[in-house]
Structure 1
Amino acid sequence: MQLLLALLALAAAGHWASSADLHWCYDIQKIHDSSCLAPEQWEWNCQKKRQSPIDIKTSEAKVNSDLSPFSFSGYDKKGKWSVTNNGHTVMVQLDGQAWIEDGGLDSKYQATQLHLHWSQEPGKGSEHSLDGTFKAMEMHIVHQKKRGTSRSRRALQDTQEDNIAVLAFLVEAGPQNDNFQPLVNALSAISKPKSNTTMAEEVSLFDLLPEKEKLKNYFRYLGSLTTPSCDETVVWTVFQEPIRLHSQQIFAFSEKLFYDDQKKVNMTNNFRPLQLLEGRVVYKSRAPEQLLPLALTTLLAPALTYLTVGSL
């Protein structure tokens, strides 16, 4: 069973962070290595029309009543996870015991790994943006679809458009986040690419996320992997509530990790530029709560006072 889980994790990692022979890179790496392919040069599936990331215009997202709260299984399980610098990001291999379902998903999905994107510049670093605004980082929890768990006839169709489900969390500066510190502490041991370590302390996925009650509000669209080969196989969930880390915790990723063995090029700005929506529809889990207009509130106040006094 452990071997099977390891193979699943490696398969997902292989999709998300493609092998070195593709020799793709981010713009900041292109400055130091002219032979690598920067984002505008990516080929494979990267030139298709259902690509990620995108800018989410929150007022234009359509409410979808099927986007119910997620059911999380194993997200509370703590573990000392394996952490790797894969040359493009820091990747945490999960143990295969965490799952998600519901949330408008057609099947059950197994968590295989999580990774992050970031910058050392304020207001820059996330891959997705909300109304044109970027955050300092973005964390992706990658899930693989479990065959045979579909609840609709779509499972009979020859399609892979929802083979992977990614939960995306924007990260902004805030107070010290002690739950994230075990991962931050592990960065010093994986400064060079292809190096790995194990967290010194146990952490659960729920430890890293906003409060569960705040995970009901999210956006949904169909897209792609954000690294080559940019396969259009991802159902994206971008949560409205951000994760908050202290600025020093955020900067640690750019300061302690490197793209190269010589430790000359800091690992930062590892995000893909925004892609065109190309006619796709972005959905949201529910309409934002509407406040009563001020004038109506003023009119209702005396009536509410009268009713309250009358009931005494």
Structure 2
Amino acid sequence: MISFLMLLALTLAQPVAPAHWCYQSQSQTTACTGPDNWPGYCQGKQQSPIDINTDKTMLNVSLVPFQFTDYDKRESRIIENNGHSVEVKLENSIKISGGGLQETYKAVAFHLHWSDALDEGSEHTIDGQSGAMELHIVHIKDKYKNVSEALAGNGNDEIAVLGFLIKASHGNNTGFTNLVESLSKVQYQSNNTHLKEFSLFDLIPRIDKLKNYYRYWGSLTTPNCDEKVIWTVFHEPILLHMNQILEFSKKLYYNLESDKKISMADNFRNTQQLGGRQVFTSGVGIPLPHAWPTLLAPLLTYLLAVFLY
């Protein structure tokens, strides 16, 4: 009996996501747990997403370019409507290293967030400005088998997410054609279909555009909002045609096909307080103190030459 009571106590002590959490837009039309009452760590102080104030970012010279493994691998993959977004599972051969990371991380999935408007939809904002969508590529440390195992780790960097804001443009993004055309086949929760062969490099900006990014430590943006994520948000946005962006809110629904249709729109979490955290950048920003001598040396050499002349 004592062993049973101890097991019960440990079970109750663990944060558990409800069977039906939802976004604010969905909570207005159905009975579910909205963001204000999300469980687990969702009310913590190291939460994501955030607004990135570029004037307060700090230059970190250790944030070197990423090394991408198998991001160019073209394969057919399954896309699924999981009731909160569309998600594509990825094989473990796709990996990232470098980028200021201390270990190699393997990709497990990617998903997107959006609105039914073009002036909001991303989770992160930059200087208060939203993107129309946001793409998240989720990775876990190479030593783990799955996300659950990574979340059981003790570090604040067990998961690495690459975030890309998506903005509307006048041109069609052919890299997304395959994905957008599949939406009509995954309209309802639990629907899935095979995508034609594609690579992750088809979706994101060119590799030479990925040298500049922001870095901070935060959380998952859905319950249980575990604060074990090292975030990378790239400066360079992904550009999609307006019609490609709006297809997501037009074609997709939160619910099962048998239920009343509820359009899948505004499936993003609002920005959270940064608190005492620092956002770093691999590009322009406020330099770290130890970087000052390196940055000032060329300027002092120039001024000295002018003075002696």
TM-score (norm 1): 0.81
Partners of 1:73 and 1:43 in 2: CA distance: 35
The structural deviation recorded for 1:274 is 0.7
Which residue does the alignment assign to 1:117?
A: 113
Aligned: 1:225 with 2:220:
yes
Partners of 1:42 and 1:278 in 2: CA distance: 20
Partners of 1:19 and 1:205 in 2: CA distance: 32
The worse-fitting range, judged by mean Cα deviation, of 219-228 and 181-190 is 181-190
The worse-fitting range, judged by mean Cα deviation, of 268-277 and 92-101 is 92-101
Q: Report if the CA contact (8 A) 1:192-1:263 is conserved.
A: no
1:81 equivalent among 77, 83, 92? 77
Partners of 1:21 and 1:228 in 2: CA distance: 8
Q: Provide the alpha-carbon RMSD of the alignment.
A: 1.6
Question: Where do 5+ consecutive residues of structure 2 fail to align?
Answer: 1-14, 145-152, 286-309
The residue correspondences of 1:9-158 to structure 2 (distance < 5 A) are: 21-33=18-30, 35-147=31-143
Q: Report if the CA contact (8 A) 2:254-2:263 is conserved.
A: yes
Partners of 1:263 and 1:173 in 2: CA distance: 30
Equivalent AA in structure 2 for residue 71 of structure 1? Q
Equivalent AA in structure 2 for residue 30 of structure 1? S
The structural deviation recorded for 1:237 is 0.1
Q: Report if the CA contact (8 A) 1:88-1:259 is conserved.
A: yes
Partners of 1:127 and 1:42 in 2: CA distance: 16
**Quick one: percent identity of the two aligned structures?**
49
Which residue does the alignment assign to 1:179?
A: 175
Q: Report if the CA contact (8 A) 2:17-2:40 is conserved.
A: no
Partners of 1:183 and 1:138 in 2: CA distance: 15
Question: Where do 5+ consecutive residues of structure 1 fail to align?
Answer: 1-17, 149-157, 289-312
2:202 equivalent among 180, 203, 207? 207
The structural deviation recorded for 1:287 is 2.0
The structural deviation recorded for 1:186 is 0.9
Partners of 1:227 and 1:212 in 2: CA distance: 29
Equivalent AA in structure 1 for residue 248 of structure 2? F
The structural deviation recorded for 1:41 is 1.1
Q: Report if the CA contact (8 A) 2:17-2:223 is conserved.
A: no
Partners of 1:214 and 1:36 in 2: CA distance: 40
Which residue does the alignment assign to 1:275?
A: 272
Partners of 1:20 and 1:42 in 2: CA distance: 8
Partners of 1:31 and 1:60 in 2: CA distance: 36
TM-score (norm 2): 0.82
SS at match of 2:165: strand
SS at match of 1:277: coil
Partners of 2:107 and 2:16 in 1: CA distance: 21
Equivalent AA in structure 1 for residue 249 of structure 2? S
Per-residue CA deviation, residues 147-177 of structure 1 (Å, 9 max, x unaligned), is 39xxxxxxxxx73210000000000011100
Aligned: 1:252 with 2:247:
yes
The structural deviation recorded for 1:96 is 1.9
Aligned: 1:159 with 2:137:
no
The structural deviation recorded for 1:95 is 1.9
Q: Report if the CA contact (8 A) 2:136-2:161 is conserved.
A: yes
The structural deviation recorded for 1:214 is 0.7
The structural deviation recorded for 1:97 is 1.7
Per-residue CA deviation, residues 39-89 of structure 1 (Å, 9 max, x unaligned), is 111121101100000000011100000000000000000011110000000
The structural deviation recorded for 1:264 is 1.6
Partners of 1:278 and 1:37 in 2: CA distance: 25
Q: Report if the CA contact (8 A) 2:210-2:234 is conserved.
A: yes
Would you say how many aligned residue pairs link Structure 1 and Structure 2?
Answer: 260
SS at match of 2:162: strand
